Amino acid sequence: MVSRDQKARSSAAAAASGLTQGNKPPRRQFVGMPSLIRFLLVNAAAGFGLGFVVGSAFVQARHGLDFFVEKPLASAMIIWSFGAGFAMGMIGSALALISDDSRDS
């Protein structure tokens, strides 16, 4: 149970900070991650994942599974290039497909 003394201290602290029961503290505008950063990360990760799968299939089809073990740096560079290219393509496509509400009316 809260004593009168504790209530008086909390109300005095609220009054000192400019807060009373009638006015609430201002809300923070950016509670989580900004929407642009989230948009870029989601699309880049999805594109890189798709590129990783395609790059892995390309290396396996072109050179076989032994290439991953014999030349891991070369296979990683090929897979990374597919991933980066697909990530940039996915971000560009997503940016191009954003609907512009001002043109609708």
What is the domain partition of the chain in residue ranges? 33-98
Q: What is the pLDDT of residue 98?
A: 87
Q: What is the pLDDT of residue 22?
A: 61
Q: What is the pLDDT of residue 33?
A: 74
Q: What is the pLDDT of residue 71?
A: 94
pTM: 0.62
Q: Which residues of the chain have pLDDT under 70?
A: 1-31, 100-105
Q: What is the pLDDT of residue 28?
A: 59
Within 8 A by CB and 6+ apart from 60, the residues are: 67, 68
Torsion of CA 17, 20, 23, 29, to 10 degrees: 40
Are residues 61 and 38 in contact, defined by beta-carbon separation less than 8 angstroms?
Answer: no
Q: What is the pLDDT of residue 35?
A: 86
